[in-house]
Amino acid sequence: MGLALISVAFVGPVYSPWEAPPQEPISSELSNHEWIENAFISLLYVLSAIGCLLLPFALMRPIERARPLLKVIGVAWAVAGVALSLFGALNYYTHSGMTINTYEESQQGAPPGQ
């Protein structure tokens, strides 16, 4: 799983899939700097991957020797988890706003009655 997450993390800088369209509120403020959102999401995937890659090594050790690794895993997963949860909540608002803004833009050029 850790290797899969590392692979996904490389998608952001290479292909820029996570940039916000200009119709999205809040996130579109960064639309001129698409690397910011892509780097942020990629970093969250990397943090998740670190935890996944270290977990087998922590589980192979007695608990006393595993504590330092478990702390690193816990911090990586906690930071990534909180950030992904907040970003996910933000996306409910921004995607709804994008839908409304896109609809309003389409209606500006529509003939009367449509």
| Stronger pLDDT, 3 or 99, i.e. the higher one | 3
Return the sign of the alpha-carbon dihedral for residues 24, 30, 35, 39: negative
Dist CA 46 CA 38 (whole Å):
12
Query: What phi and psi values does residue 98 have, to the nearest 5 degrees?
Result: -65, -40
Tokens 């839908």, located at residue: 99
Long-range contacts of 99-102 (CB under 8 A, 24+ apart): 101/23, 101/24, 101/25, 102/23
| Each residue's pLDDT tens digit, 4-56 | 999 999 998 888 888 777 788 887 787 777 788 889 999 999 999 999 999 99
Parse the chain into domains and list their residue ranges.
2-106
Q: Given pLDDT bands bounded at 50, 70 and 90, which one contains residue 113?
A: low
User: pTM of whole model > 0.75?
Assistant: yes
